[in-house]
Amino acid sequence: MNSTYCSKSWTDINIDFEARTVQHCCKSVSYNFPEVLTEEFISKSEKLVERKKQSLEGIAHPDCQHCWNEYATGGTAYRDWSNNWNDDIIKEKKIHEINDDSFVHHIEIKLDSTCDMSCIYCTSRASSKIAEEEGVYKENRTNENDYEIFKSWFENFIKQKIKNYSDKNTPNIVVSFLGGEPTASKRFYELVDYIEDISKLHNNINIKVAICTNANSKKFLMDKIINKMNNSKLDWEIAISNESVGEDAESIRYGLDWGRFSTNFKQYIQHPKVKLIVLSPTITIFNLKSFHLYIKWVHEQFKFYSPDKTFTWVGNIAYFNDGLSDISYLSKDYLFYIELAEKEILKEIHNVSYFDSTQFVTFIDALKVRVGSLYNEDYKEIAQEFLEDKQKFKKTNILIKLLNNLDL
- Residue partners of 93: CB distance under 8 A and separation at least 6: 85, 103
Angle, alpha carbons 113-17-151 (nearest 5°) = 135
What does each of the 408 residues of the chain score in pLDDT, given as a tens digit?
457 999 999 999 999 999 999 999 999 999 999 999 999 999 999 999 999 999 988 999 999 999 998 888 888 889 988 898 888 888 877 676 566 788 899 999 999 999 999 999 998 888 999 999 999 987 888 899 999 999 999 999 998 887 776 555 556 899 999 988 999 998 999 999 999 999 888 877 889 999 999 999 999 999 999 999 999 999 999 999 999 999 999 999 999 999 999 999 999 999 999 999 999 999 999 999 999 999 999 999 999 999 999 999 999 888 644 557 899 999 999 999 999 999 999 999 888 899 888 888 889 999 999 999 989 999 999 999 999 999 999 999 999 999 999 998
Q: What is the DSSP string of 339-362?
A: HHHHHHHHHHTTTS-BS-THHHHH
Q: Choose among 220, 293, 217: nearest CA to 255.
A: 217
- Residue partners of 45: CB distance under 8 A and separation at least 6: 22, 31
**Distance between CA atoms of residues 174 and 124, nearest Å:** 27
Q: Are 33 and 20 in contact (CB under 8 A)?
A: yes
Q: Choose among 154, 125, 155: nearest CA to 141.
A: 125
**Distance between CA atoms of residues 208 and 375, nearest Å:** 42
**Distance between CA atoms of residues 113 and 95, nearest Å:** 35
Burial class for 1, CB neighbours closer than 10 Å (0-12, 13-18, 19+): exposed
- Residue partners of 197: CB distance under 8 A and separation at least 6: none
Amino acid 162: pLDDT:
77
Q: Choose among 300, 107, 315: nearest CA to 195.
A: 107
**Distance between CA atoms of residues 391 and 153, nearest Å:** 45
Q: Are 243 and 281 in contact (CB under 8 A)?
A: yes
**Distance between CA atoms of residues 5 and 90, nearest Å:** 10
Amino acid 74: pLDDT:
82
Binning the chain into helix, strand and coil, the percentages to the nearest 5 are 50, 10, 40
Instruction: Give φ, ψ of 311 to 5 degrees.
Output: -145, 165
* CATH code that applies to domain 105-406: 3.20.20
- Domains of the chain, by residue range, sit at 1-11+26-101, 105-406
Amino acid 1: pLDDT:
45
- Reply yes or no: is the peptide bond before residue 75 cis, omega within 30 of 0: no
Number of other residues whose CB lies within 10 A of the CB of residue 250: 19
Q: What is the DSSP string of 146-209?
A: HHHHHHHHHHHHHHHHHHHTTTSPPPEEEEEEESS-GGG-TTHHHHHHHHHHHHHHTTTSEEEE
Helix and strand element counts for the chain (H, E): 16, 11
How do residues 117-174 score in pLDDT, each as one tens digit?
A: 999 999 888 899 999 999 998 788 889 999 999 999 999 999 888 777 655 555 689 9
- Exposure b/e, 15-53, CB count within 10 A at least 16 = b: bbbbbbbbbbbbbbbbbebeeebeeebbbebeebeebbe
Amino acid 320: pLDDT:
46
Amino acid 355: pLDDT:
86
